[in-house]
Amino acid sequence: MSFEIHYDDRVIVETARGIEYGQVVIAPMEFPDERVPQPLKPILRMATADDRERAAENHRKEREAYWICKSKIAERELDMKLIKAEYTFDNSKVLFYFTADGRIDFRDLVKDLAGIFKTRIELRQIGVRDETKLLGGMGVCGRPLCCHTFLTEFAPVSIKMAKEQNLSLNPTKISGSCGRLMCCLKNESDMYAELSKNLPNKGDQMTAPDGRHGEVQSVDILRQRVKCIVDMENDERELQEYHIDEITFIPHSKRPKNQQPKAEKAAKKAENEGNEPKEKGNEKKNPEKRPEKRSGEKPVKGKPEKENAGGEKEPAGKREHERPKNRRPKRKKGDFQRRDGESARKEADAT
């Protein structure tokens, strides 16, 4: 470049929307190639006095365009909220940003605006976070909103980040101006996750330097200190604070479970019922009495034997003449004719 750039200078740059008027917020510095965002647009030239007057005129026209568009939305009775109107530096396009709960058919609105401004019209639907980024404001920390000053994109933020930092889960305290979780929860999330790796959880068992045992009551992640309820003499308990390097602890997930053998559980159950437990090995199962087998006969299990005319028992498997259940005998064609004749004779006799 044939010109020097300093902090707070006004410049003319090339963007995805075309030629724009901008302000330098960070002085030039060297960056590794992998940290440079791609594609990197160039700075065309330093802004002149005419460029500054043109930028000021565009801001005045944006306010007029905002109220004109707002009135047209009311005429069309469209369910949308207009946020901001922007002119490109060369006045080749007018952009209108709005929010809505669902999809809006604004084709007729675009025709009305194009007839008024005699230029290209573009309407963009944005979310509540983008709305706050465009309008700006002050955060609960007393500084300008991060999204309006330096954030180029929104990182995903979850309630788990607030839990890891021991913050209050009250939505009014961890939400930003947009009503969503504050973006700054992401800034220290990685550091808190790294510091929490070697810390116990609330409720974990610990051993103090003097050999006393206790339970973790609270954890200070940044100071790397824990408060524990320690068992003292005479069945007393006392709250004491230790550094993480001074104690040994068993994580709650790895705490050994007091599992008793099955034989001991059965013995305790028998004692509670008032019966003496039986020793293993002395219990003998009484085999069921089975009917005596006759030579050449194989009785079918689960079916009783039937006595025949001579008084002898016949196995169920030997009943050749026993018909299966739910099965009718086959009938011949002559049977139906004979039965029809018999029924006809019976009707004649009845009459």
Q: 60 and 119, same structural domain?
A: yes
The answer on pLDDT for 100 being more than 60 is yes
Sign of the C-alpha dihedral computed for residues 237, 243, 245 and 250 taken in this order? positive
**Residue 122 falls inside a structural domain:** yes
Q: 25 and 3, same structural domain?
A: yes
Structure tokens given for 232: 């003292």
* H or E segment to which residue 128 belongs: helix 128-135
**Residue 299 falls inside a structural domain:** no
Of 86, 101, 126, which residue is a domain's last? Answer: 126
- How far is 159 from 185, CA to CA, in rounded Å? 9
Inter-residue contact 131 to 150 (CB < 8 Å): no
**DSSP codes, 80-127:** -EEEEEEE-TTSSEEEEEEE-SS----HHHHHHHHHHH-SEEEEEE--
Share of the chain above pLDDT 70, in %: 70
Please give the tally of structural domains in the chain.
4
Q: For the chain, what is the mean pLDDT? A: 78
- Is the peptide bond preceding residue 304 cis, with omega within 30 degrees of 0? no
- How far is 154 from 184, CA to CA, in rounded Å? 11
- How far is 215 from 198, CA to CA, in rounded Å? 16
Give the domain range for residue 64.
50-126
Q: 250 and 206, same structural domain?
A: yes
What single-letter amino acid sits at 338? R
pLDDT, residue 348, reads 52
Q: What is the CATH number for 85?
A: 3.30.300
Of 254, 272, 292, which residue is a domain's last? Answer: 254
| CA distance to 137, 258, 259, 276, 286, per residue, from 263 (Å) | 70, 15, 12, 13, 22
Q: 23 and 7, same structural domain?
A: yes
- How far is 206 from 247, CA to CA, in rounded Å? 7
Structure tokens given for 315: 């196995």
Per-residue pLDDT tens over the stretch 135-187? 889 988 889 998 888 888 888 898 988 888 888 888 888 998 888 999 889 88
**Residue 279 falls inside a structural domain:** no
Inter-residue contact 235 to 194 (CB < 8 Å): no
Residue the block writes with tokens 């004491």: 240
pLDDT band at 318 (very low <50, low <70, confident <90, very high): very low
**Residue 270 falls inside a structural domain:** no
Structure tokens given for 138: 């002050």
* pTM listed for this prediction: 0.58
Inter-residue contact 69 to 85 (CB < 8 Å): yes
Q: 249 and 215, same structural domain?
A: yes
**Residue 163 falls inside a structural domain:** yes
What single-letter amino acid sits at 184? C
pLDDT, residue 263, reads 47
pLDDT band at 54 (very low <50, low <70, confident <90, very high): very high
**Residue 152 falls inside a structural domain:** yes
Inter-residue contact 106 to 123 (CB < 8 Å): yes
The answer on pLDDT for 255 being more than 80 is no
Q: What is the CATH number for 235?
A: 2.30.30.30
The answer on pLDDT for 80 being more than 70 is yes
Q: What is the mean pLDDT of residues 70-83?
A: 92
**DSSP codes, 25-70:** -S------GGGS-SSPPPEEEE--HHHHHHHHHHHHHHHHHHHHHH
**pLDDT: which is higher, 35 or 116:** 116
Helix/strand/coil for 266: helix
In a 13 Å sphere around the CA of 40, the CA atoms on its Cβ side amount to: 8
Sign of the C-alpha dihedral computed for residues 46, 50, 52 and 55 taken in this order? negative
Helix pair angle (49-76, 107-117), 10° resolution = 140
Share of the chain above pLDDT 90, in %: 19
* H or E segment to which residue 208 belongs: none
- How far is 77 from 68, CA to CA, in rounded Å? 14
Helix/strand/coil for 244: helix
**Residue 310 falls inside a structural domain:** no
**Residue 269 falls inside a structural domain:** no
Of 102, 126, 150, which residue is a domain's last? Answer: 126
